[in-house]
Chain A
Amino acid sequence: MRVSQTAPDPIDTSAAVETPEHVRFHHQLAGPARRAVAYIIDLVVRGAFILVLAIIILIAGAAAGADFRGLSSGILAVLYFAAEWLYYVLFESLWSGRSPGKKAMRLRVITDTGRPLHYLDSFLRNILRAADLLPNMYGLGLVVMGRDPKFRRLGDMVAGTIVVVEERGDITEPLRIYPIPSPFELSALPQRVPLSGDEIDALELYLRRLPKLHPARATELAEIVAPAFAKRLGVRFRGDARRFLELLYFRARERMAA
């Protein structure tokens, strides 16, 4: 049994949450690009909302005569206000931290401790948009986000919120090594490979990415780590660094499965 070490969280685009069940899991943080797309979707939704209601109100106003004109402009002004300031608060409060744009982009606002959003948090983070969008096009918000490890804009910092991605995943097949390592190839490796769990995970991440890497780049990456592993195992590896890592992974997994 492995004793878990209390190491500090690695620098990564994720936020750890400890649940009431005392389980730690990680939310994947949303970056500026994805949030910008969600913002644009929300902008279109808000624009459409105002446009449709404006047409209805103007037609009704024209039909009802001059007396109604002032009233219809008043209603429009209130609607415009609602679309500018209340839209996000309303949706984030009713849809557990998601506006239509966020829902479409699979984003959700939660507090930075993983607790659900309170309406006051939503209220604060969305009023602070007035500061984030300065001087133009959310320039300040983007700079602040880029400098923050959790991608928070000013509104998120005041309200204590983060925006996370909720991607649907699939169960992947266990990694298979092709061609299947021959006993001759494996005979060059010791029976027991002293690799830590993190190292095996790193090897696996590398091997899973292989199809997406250019062969030359894949070899280049393998040649960085292969000599270090070979030295530790006290073996000499000849030739193909990539194959060496595959064998190493195979041997390590073989032992874990046994």
Chain B
Amino acid sequence: MIPQDVFVAQRKNDWNELDILLSQEKELYAHDGPTISRIASLYRALCTDLVRAKSARYTPDLAGYLNGIAGRAHSALYGARPIRAFGISSLILREFPQSLRKNWRFFLLSTALFVIPWIVGQAGTMAEPSFAKQILPASQLEMMAQMYSKGFDEGRAAGLDAGMAGFYVMNNVGVAFRCFATGILFGLGSVFFLVYNGLTIGTVTGWVMNAGYGGNILTFMCGHAPFELTAILISGAAGMRMGYALVATKGRTRIGSLRESAREIAALIMGAAVMLLIAAGLEGFWSPSSLPPPVKWAASVVFTLGMTAFLLFAGRERKLA
């Protein structure tokens, strides 16, 4: 076994070289070819040195120093994989509907948690208008009624459409992400957001219908609602799936159980995000347009059928005859 001083003297230059290369803080692909292979071979040599330093019981400081470089070199060499457009499209087009079908029970539950409060809110408001004021402030209700009093026969200014579309992206995707993320609290956060949103949307709809503008609000909603509401339901389902993984661990640790479900959950939430982007575009530009209601309703039917077909059939394995 060679003494530490000799060992350090022999290998020091290589370590320094690697340290300097890593300290440039460049991503690996930004280096030229020979440099990359140089980093790789220096890294492998350093790994050997680390093992030697440990087994020879040189001072712990030396092992710590080598360990630090090894860690940095490992992170640099095995850095993040590139995002491939193909990977994302197959995630959205295949894995997303697959995991939704696999988790249909959660979707059903989240639908119930959303639709039942909606019905309660709407029916309650229509039967007894003072019910609505228990749920939302009167001023907000009046504002909503005001908003839908005119209808969209003349459309809106084009600039305003873009502004609203941007707002819907920010607001609705944010709501969906929060609805999903708070599912980590044993599903409770998702349940809260589903019930809360169902109740308020139901109440507003009921209030506007009471005011006599039901046709306006429903015609406005019919285009984007299939995408938007389904996406919120999927986010809630993903959140509850996550909460369920924490409770029903099936013999694994809670974290192990969470990890097991992570890929499915990520596919669900990515899919929901894409649906919300579609919805925001429709809600900004299509829904408030001056197209006659029959056209909007026909489109709504087409959208709904298309989306349902996608969620039901996309990504199915082809059965071999």
The chain A residues found within 8 Å of chain B, CB to CB, are 1-2, 4, 17, 19, 21, 23, 25-28, 66-78, 80-81, 84-85, 92-97, 103, 108, 110, 114-120, 123-124, 127-131, 134, 154, 157-160, 164, 166-172, 174-175, 197, 200-201, 204-205, 208, 256-257
CB-CB under 8 A for A130 and B71, given A74-B165, A81-B174: no
Pick the interface stretch among B47-55, B112-120, B205-213, B214-222.
B47-55
- Looking at B27, B183, B259, B262, the one whose CB has the most chain A CB atoms below 10 A away is B262
Chain B residues with CB under 8 A of A2: 55, 57
Within 8 A of A (CB), among B54-68: 55, 57, 59-62, 64-65, 67-68
A26–B157 Cα distance when bound, in Å, is: 60
Determine how close the nearest CB of chain B comes to the CB of A166; give it in whole angstroms.
5
Per-residue contact bits, chain B 1-32, to A (CB 8 Å; 1 contact, 0 not): 00111001000100100010001010100000
A122–B51 Cα distance when bound, in Å, is: 32
Chain A residues with CB under 8 A of B169: 77-78, 81
B144 within 8 A of A: no
CB-CB under 8 A for A116 and B71, given A23-B51, A157-B258, A175-B59: no
In the complex, besides A85-B177, A96-B79, A124-B265, 17 extra interface pairs with C-beta distance below 8 angstroms are A19-B74, A23-B47, A25-B67, A28-B71, A71-B163, A78-B166, A81-B173, A93-B83, A97-B80, A116-B78, A120-B263, A120-B270, A124-B269, A131-B185, A169-B64, A169-B69, A201-B60
B170 within 8 A of A: yes
Chain B, residue nearest A164 (CB): B71
CB-CB under 8 A for A74 and B163, given A67-B158, A172-B62, A201-B60: yes
Chain B residues with CB under 8 A of A81: 169-170, 173-174
Residue from the list A119, A158, A204 in contact with B258, Cβ < 8 A: A158
Is there contact, CB below 8 Å, between B71 and A96? no
Is there contact, CB below 8 Å, between A78 and B170? yes
A76–B165 Cα distance when bound, in Å, is: 11
Chain A residues with CB under 8 A of B79: 96-97, 116
A159–B184 Cα distance when bound, in Å, is: 12
A66–B157 Cα distance when bound, in Å, is: 10
Chain B residues with CB under 8 A of A77: 163, 166-167, 169-171
Determine how close the nearest CB of chain A comes to the CB of B8; give it in whole angstroms.
6
Is there contact, CB below 8 Å, between B270 and A123? yes
Chain A, residue nearest B74 (CB): A19
CB-CB under 8 A for A167 and B68, given A67-B159, A70-B164, A201-B60: yes
Is there contact, CB below 8 Å, between A171 and B159? no
Q: Can you list 23 pairs linking A and B with CB atoms under 8 Å apart?
A: A19-B74, A23-B70, A25-B74, A66-B159, A69-B159, A70-B163, A77-B170, A77-B171, A84-B170, A84-B174, A85-B177, A95-B80, A116-B75, A116-B78, A120-B263, A123-B266, A129-B181, A154-B184, A166-B75, A169-B69, A174-B59, A204-B60, A257-B3
